[in-house]
Structure 1
């Protein structure tokens, strides 16, 4: 395993002072299904920050583990779908009061059925006939599972270009997150859940060996997404554990498959415990912006210029520099975090250290402190060092990796 050398200019950072000890962990009892015994679990009293949820140990993976990776084609969308949902959940489930756990009630089989395309009329007749004839293993349960599909009817074996255009796949994933509280008798119980629904901005399909792209406007996506959300809520309420807890639902708009920046959540709503209908939706004003880009120049010109000037200063002293890639996360059009990736070709550790020192000086000189800033210095797709400067901090933290 690679050793990490932590260098904070002239200050040595002692990481062990931040490591939680076993004495900071409390044992609780996590209620399982009635057919199972109660399970002893650990809740750490150490919280990384007021904005992070504590988790239940042993950590239980999601009941639908693996579905996200199979359904979303862009790695950055996969990450943002999860982290963004947890971020929005904080408005409904306070991290200081509740614990986080991956979704335990929407299973992989359930989601694959929901994310399928609904059978066409012709397909439905064929499936119903198979059940009636009882000549193969296709059962009534299989038919009902096919009817759970949330995407429009489409027979991909027979579909024409017009069929694809008129019946695009809208929803590509549904993510569940659970929130628990600790009781006085040291048990924990489910008190709420968040559901993130990932929706396409572009539907890609193939006909006769040709690939086509069908753009889905945000207004069309929102209309379909809200219909899907209502159906999902009704189904979730039929799950005993989720029948009477508050639920937050958020709609996520994916980016193109090859986009270097992720999409973003565009709408959210809260539903009180026991309710099975959605009321008003609230607009979520978040976006991820690439720098430099046409969008960056048009919407956030000052940040675009800052990133380009930063790159020009680096280029003055390092001839093997190839450019800075910036990714800005905005909320209500205010920059919350700026991530800069600098790919270079290094020929020695001394060069890495020298470059990192110079870059840190530029960061201190050029960037403001009202947003989080992260600089990732890489070579050959490997992280060489990174700089982190938190909003409001007086100094940054620098990590140099020892190969």
Structure 2
């Protein structure tokens, strides 16, 4: 089944897409909802640069907006579609119809920009957010199908390799952030569908995501790049957010562990634990990764927290304790490895506790976040 609503004329251009734009007041609300709820978990967009382009776009007369970059128009519409999932609209008869219309506009804008042959990092930003939209709406099959396109573009632009030496600081950071987001989506889908991960082949390393003043993303490099930029397309806050980068590094390491130790053997019909010593080693490795996460995600108590960091902490808690549950449940009759149900339940209980903390704060998360936050408990039961 085609995953997008199709109500476009054969010869329609970008102006046909722009006809579906919300009011400016509504657009501001959708933008705010996106950066509050979605961006913390997928920090792949420079908020300051996006808002600058957003203002530039909305100050144009309606008849001139059609000349705007189509990939950016697509990005704006997927931001609207994602944000609408978190905005209550009592006037809407069918709540999902509006967000689905924005999603269709997003994909139409991509097609008008020939995204299958003219690749860019902006294209990948849009594709990742489309896949996240599908997952949020429990459309896993649509996400898997569409992620095939994303995979080709990601590898085509060589995000799986370390950035070239002459690449700007901003582009290096964005490439690493996009690869991390792609790898997370890939291992999540691979696990659910029991398929081989598509992000196994890479030489890029988590160490490239760094805010250390001794690394390439240092103050001097950032200032030189900012001063040489004609459009001012350098967002220091985006490059230097220590909590966002710590979150991305934590998710990257989780994805790498899941990819190698859970998803790949499961997809190939092999046991996760070869023997008791191997299982103990996996648990030790995972515990070591979690214990050595960058601050503040090396803490376990986020009581009283709210906002961006709190959402990121809940996601990290969910991911890592899910991985612990899967290793605890690993069994191998051939080598007498048995599942540790009690330990698996303890790990899944931590996931559920974090989930209920989120739901108690905002009930709208109940529908959208239930599958990913209850998977550990479901597997254990």
TM over 0.5: no
Normalised by the length of structure 2, the TM-score is 0.28
Normalised by the length of structure 1, the TM-score is 0.27
Give the structure with the higher percent strand: 1
